[in-house]
Structure 1
Amino acid sequence: MRGHNNNNNHDRINSMLPDELLIEIFRHVDSKSSRDACALVCRRWQTLERLSRDTIRIGGSGSPDSLVNLIATRFVNVTNLFIDERVSGAHPFDQGRRGSVRHQPTWLRLHLMADGYEPYCLSDAGLAAVADGFTKLQKLTLIWCSNATNAGLTFVAQKCTSLKCLDLQGCYVGDQGLRAIGKYCKQLEVLNLRFCEGLTDIGLVGLAIGCEKSLKSLGVAACAKITDVSLEAVGSHCRVLETLSLDSEYVNNKGVIAVANGCPLLKNLNLQCIMVTDEALTAVGRLCVLLESLALHSFQRFSDKSLCAIGKGCKKLKSLMLSDCYFLSDKGLEAVAAGCPELSRLEINGCHNISTYGLETIGRSCMRLRELALLYCQKVGKEALYEVGKGCKYLQALHLVDCSVVGDDAICSIAIGCKNLKKLHIRRCYEVGSKGIIAIGDNCKYLTDLSIRFCDRVGDEALVAIGNGCPLLCHLNVSGCYQIGDTGITAIARGCPQLTYLDVSVLQNLGDMALAEVGEGCPLLKDIILSHCREITDFGLAHLVKRCKWLESCYMVYCPGVTAAGVATVISTCVNIKKVLIEKSKVSARTRRRAGSVISYLCVDL
């Protein structure tokens, strides 16, 4: 900050840059730790950095009401506030390296000590402080804040009239509070209601009427007292609605049809409603011509008739997810393939009547497909992926889980035809072996994410090909591929310097030599999982952490060669470490005192 000129030290920044420019610079500093460091330079920087903050995240337990009061007086330009009761509010700023009390700012440390760490939940008093202190608030997220009531939400509604996004997951607010939001927050665009058991149709109808000109996204899940009446109000008033996510046992065709009739701009529809039938989905296909994303979960009362209507009417459909829809077959998928040429994402999960033919039609017709996920599709064979490889040249992501018929030939077809592939996730596809993964390494030069979990036919030669051919690889998971050992991981270490995530758990043949190579060749590594690696010792860990200065998490349970000394080495060397998973018996008292907040235990007594 200071430069030398004519034997005098000059503050070049503070003397030349106005407040407005410094605030703008702070806003472009991405890392929270870097922004915290800026705030420690001088009083002026501390004040201006506080003014630049637009987002605050705090825990909703451990004196949150007092914390909100303190924060509101220091960060007056906050527009995004996130409060989660599942997270302790005792250390909201985490400015210290280990997050302990002695590393907190003085004002916060004294406050915490005065409170004696007595945990309690965010109350209406805290929401009143939110309303008074954050008048510029545009986004408010309250997760499981069970002590907040109608009164608190009304305070927020009356003071935070610029609110655009409200998430009330697990809050027990009632109809009065929600109606107040509708009355005062005329700019509200996004509302998420999940596990809000105190709400009824009265509250949601009131909000729909109040926010009829602004509401664009509505999510409702597990709200037993919200029925078709609410959706009819949404359909009647919320003409600009674009997104609806609905998980309910009490909504019938009537409500969905009302939304389809009244919301011509609907683009995203996510439904898990066991009472909805073909009648509602047919209306969606006929009326929602702008629909781009459709997700259907656990439907047992509709058939291919619904997908035929979607294929006929929703020509702009780009994303389709079908999960546990037992009565859908290849006929419905064929209709979508023929009618929705812009489809770019398809996920099929547990739809047991969809087979090879249905996916073949997708491969022939949906040339813009970029992501394909097949989960528990026992009837989808290699011919389906042949067609995808031939027709979908822009495919970038492929997910396969428990597809027992898919083998090496299918993966080779994808590798040869889809050279832009960036992500390949395969789990428990036991016919996939080294041949298919070698083809990926030889052809897919842009691969950044490879996960081949419990594919026990994949060996070292496959990872050698990946190391030689995929220099951009950032994420690798070979958990449970017991044929992989030092040779394969060494090839990755030498060929993939961008690697940030590595899971080698349950590799019985992996030793310290490979770990040392990873430390040498992958300096950007942030997360590593070594659990159940019997040959790994403290020696390998020491070599790993010596060069991997950015390491944030290390899981190493059930590694008999790792001792308390190895754990201490990881803790003391990795200044950015946030989580270490280890058996309790391997943590010394000194290590526990030094970094207890980052250590987690699994199977404590083993």
Structure 2
Amino acid sequence: MAEGEQCGTSIDDLPEECLLIIASHLSNKNDRDSFSSTCRRWLRVESSLRHTLNLSHRYQHDKGYGYILECLLNRFQAVNIISFTGCEKLSDSALTVLESKCPQLRKLYLDRCLSITDDGLGSLGFSSLEFLSLYRCNVSDSGLGHISKACPSLTGLNLSYCSSVTDAGISALGRGCLGLKYMSISNSHEIRGAGFSSFASLIRLDADCCNLSDEGFSLATQGCERLGYLDLSSPRNCSFQLGPLGFTSIGRFCKNLQVLNLKLCRALDDGAVTEIARGCQALKELNLAVCTGIKEEGWRAVADHCTSLEVLHVNRCRSLTNEGLAHLRNGCPHLERLYMNGCPLVSRLAVELFKLHRCQVAVMTLEYLGRNLGLMCKLPQPNGPPNSSEGDWGSRPSFQRAFT
């Protein structure tokens, strides 16, 4: 270049790949908005990087959510994760817009969308949809039948607080969504368990505060042989409640369990615990808090057979005695944490002896109420909704109910 000659190159000459790299490093929302406001080209570049869309109930327009959604998806054409959490006025027509404008959708959160009906769910023709959350929705078996046909790639589904869903709807899902791995039916009181008899791919089931029956749950465990995580805590006091027969089926059929939460299952007895301990030898975390029916024989079985156990919860187990704690002290060779308080039959001397002989075990008097039940973080699970800290189950108080 001759001396004094000015370079005619500007930032407009940068290839689009370079602009994408620059835009991808903008973590601040104001910076991203400024970038997109520069010119149409930069707007197009920034829009192509938006993969999540979170419509709040605060967004209001005279033409409804369908109009807002269409405008947003015309701009953000790469979006594949959408959350409508709390949009109670979201109508079925908006889902129709979603199907036409966002065929590549992977995750959809419809938590507390009370205006969505079974007919609206019938318009969800997403062959690529992997995760769907229907927390506190008015969905019934008919809606689940639509989903089973329209979303064959579904791997995760949240049906917490769906009071109209029964085993018939669950069974329909098992026939159509053959790859389902994660499901929550917490507080869905009409499900007894038999609908899970064909869920061969399921590895995680959250069924706390449910009305599962012995017969129905026995069929479920026979069909869900790959389960790695099972939450049956806080059973409701009603005519349908798991008893020793239902709990025994866990040990007979769920050989791959790593995390089992049976907190507040007072019907659990020594025979059922022994069957679980013998059959589920891959268990790494076991929550038996407030299981008052377990006596010395049950604790001996846990100590002798749960050789892979790393975390054990015995909080408020009022039948745990010094002898039972001695069995735990001499067994469970890989134990790392023991959560124990409110056990009136265990003396301070017995606790000190436990600490002396098992100095590598952390004895915790205060149970930590985390989102994950310990080692569940090692099991594969999909990501949570955009701009949400609740995890994959959307607005449900995810994993916390097991410890409250």
Q: Confirm or deny a common fold (TM above 0.5).
A: yes
Counterpart amino acid of residue 345 in structure 1: Y
Relative contact order, higher structure (CA 8 A, sep 6+) = 2
Cα distance 1:406–1:170, how it changes in 2: closer, same or farther (>3 A)? farther
Residues 255-302 of structure 1, C-alpha deviations (whole Å, 9 max, x = no match): 221111111111212203112233322211222222222221223334
Q: Provide the C-alpha distance between the structure 1 equivalents of 2:121 and 2:45, rounded to a whole number of angstroms.
A: 26
Residues 145-166 of structure 1, C-alpha deviations (whole Å, 9 max, x = no match): xxxxxxxxxxx99943322234
- Is 1:247 paired with 2:135? yes
1:468 aligns with one of 344, 349, 357: 357
1:315 corresponds to which residue? 200
Kept in 2, the 8 Å contact 1:448–1:470? The answer is no
Cα distance 1:134–1:410, how it changes in 2: closer, same or farther (>3 A)? farther
- Structure with the bigger percentage of strand: 1
Q: Provide the C-alpha distance between the structure 1 equivalents of 2:337 and 2:70, rounded to a whole number of angstroms.
A: 46
Cα distance 1:351–1:363, how it changes in 2: closer, same or farther (>3 A)? farther
- Structure with the bigger percentage of helix: 1
Cα distance 1:438–1:157, how it changes in 2: closer, same or farther (>3 A)? farther
1:360 aligns with one of 232, 235, 248: 248
1:163 aligns with one of 50, 65, 69: 50
Corresponding residue pairs, total? 333
2:184 corresponds to which residue? 295
Shift in Å, 1:458: 3.0
Q: Provide the C-alpha distance between the structure 2 equivalents of 1:276 and 1:182, rounded to a whole number of angstroms.
A: 32
Q: Provide the C-alpha distance between the structure 2 equivalents of 1:454 and 1:340, rounded to a whole number of angstroms.
A: 35
Q: 1:429 is paired with a residue of what secondary structure?
A: coil
1:219 aligns with one of 109, 126, 134: 109
Q: Provide the C-alpha distance between the structure 2 equivalents of 1:157 and 1:428, rounded to a whole number of angstroms.
A: 59
**Structure 1 segments of 4 or more deviating over 6 A?**
none
1:231 aligns with one of 121, 124, 128: 121
Shift in Å, 1:191: 2.5
2:172 corresponds to which residue? 283
Shift in Å, 1:472: 5.9
1:478 aligns with one of 347, 365, 372: 365
Kept in 2, the 8 Å contact 1:351–1:377? The answer is no
Cα distance 1:77–1:448, how it changes in 2: closer, same or farther (>3 A)? farther
Q: Compute the RMSD of aligned alpha carbons.
A: 3.0
Percent of residue pairs bearing the same amino acid type: 25
2:380 corresponds to which residue? none
1:131 corresponds to which residue? 33
1:185 aligns with one of 57, 76, 101: 76
- Is 1:428 paired with 2:316? yes
Counterpart amino acid of residue 223 in structure 1: C
Shift in Å, 1:80: 6.0
Q: Provide the C-alpha distance between the structure 2 equivalents of 1:171 and 1:407, rounded to a whole number of angstroms.
A: 54
Give the gaps of 5 or more residues in structure 1: 1-74, 82-126, 136-155, 481-500, 502-606
Select the structure of larger CA radius of gyration. Answer: 1
Q: Normalising by structure 2, what TM-score?
A: 0.73
Shift in Å, 1:471: 1.8
Kept in 2, the 8 Å contact 1:220–1:246? The answer is yes
2:224 aligns with one of 340, 354, 360: 340
- Is 1:396 paired with 2:396? no
Shift in Å, 1:421: 0.9
Cα distance 1:443–1:204, how it changes in 2: closer, same or farther (>3 A)? same
Give the gaps of 5 or more residues in structure 2: 1-21, 38-42, 369-404
2:385 corresponds to which residue? none
Q: Provide the C-alpha distance between the structure 1 equivalents of 2:36 and 2:284, rounded to a whole number of angstroms.
A: 42
Q: 2:133 is paired with a residue of what secondary structure?
A: strand
Q: Provide the C-alpha distance between the structure 2 equivalents of 1:250 and 1:280, rounded to a whole number of angstroms.
A: 13
